[in-house]
Chains A and B, each alone.
Chain A
Amino acid sequence: MKQKIINILNEIRPEFEFTSGIDFISAGMLDSFDVLTLVNELEEKFGISIDGLDIVPENFCTIESIVGIINKNE
């Protein structure tokens, strides 16, 4: 699952290297517009619907938090 998430992130922002343990938002790798693009991509590629209450940047700022939000909404 982690590699699939990294592939999605690389499609959104190919200029950065997305790895575990980095906070992508405070690191300036993703902005609020990218987060919404990411939500759409995750929903489409994982076949899930992410709860509106979960759409806050902190749920999408690391690989680990994205894994957590996918598992929660599966």
Chain B
Amino acid sequence: MIKITCISEVQYEIKAVKENNKSFITNFYLEIDKMKTWIKDGELYKIRIGSTVFFLKKDAEFSFLFYSSSSFEALGDSLSILNSKINNIFFVIDIIGKEPNILLLVSLFKQHGFYLYTSLTRMSRLTDVSKHQKPIHKITNADSSQIKVIINLLHKYFDPLAEQLPTYKEINNWIKLNQILIIEVKEEIAGLVIFDLIGVTSYLRYWFVNPNYRNRKIGSSLLSSFFIKSAKTKRQLFWVIRTNENAIKRYMHYDFQEENLYDYILTNKNIQYETENN
């Protein structure tokens, strides 16, 4: 396993496995800024096995696994070697795509020592300003004094394997951009939404109501505020855990539709997402 020190190393590895092969497959999406941060923080590693290069993004307790391979068959061969070579790292892998194609990849990973942890579905809707409702609660922007509280809430109520919890730096950045909205009750955060606005698209990253404050329309107030903030975008989208039927029903109530785009999360430990996390 070799630590990556610059972005061109990533590009050369991808070039090497891709060369002269049109059935190239990967789950390593090209978010250059994010990748540069990982490299700068010493978190990105590579392992080259045959015609596959694996990239590992180290987290505190596990490593996100990415692959770029010259073909489906080559990936299978490399996975069997990866498992025999490295059995002391807790891998988490996201396989994103449309069904039924993606199921072949999921099956390949299962054949080579990976287990399905959970899966997410992407939902989206096109903006309909006429349906925006005013929130009934007072909504404010989170400020930097609340970063630690927000981190604690996310770590307590969200799943780090399935929901890619943000770093201190990312939360601070959202706060600077006024992209964390909160409702406070007695100086406690009763609920929050975190979102990104990128041109015509807004991404709902986290929508959360503290269990102590549920059934008070806090969630709908937060979502209304998110829609108002997204009024200039053309679509809103987010990922939700597929077994979270209550959340999916709520989103459908707000005109979100599933896109037939799924994220299967697998690990090399036989553990499963706990639905009570919802």
Contacts and interface: CB of A to CB of B under 8 A. Distances in A.
Contacts of B17: 52
Contacts of B261: 33
B201 interface: yes
B30 A53 contact: no
Contact of B234 (A15, A26, A52, A55): A15
A35 B22 CA distance: 16
Given A15-B235, A33-B96, A36-B30, A52 B16 contact: yes
A22 B18 CA distance: 29
B177 interface: no
Given A51-B15, A52-B17, A53-B12, A32 B22 contact: no
Interface string A34-70: 0110000001000001011101110000000000000
B50 to A, nearest CB: 16
Interface residues of A, number: 19
A26 B199 contact: yes
B30 A28 contact: no
Given A27-B199, A28-B200, A36-B26, A52 B233 contact: no
B126 A52 contact: no
A33 B165 CA distance: 19
Contacts of B197: 28
Given A29-B201, A43-B22, A52 B11 contact: yes
Interface of A: 15-16, 26-29, 31-33, 35-36, 43, 49, 51-53, 55-57
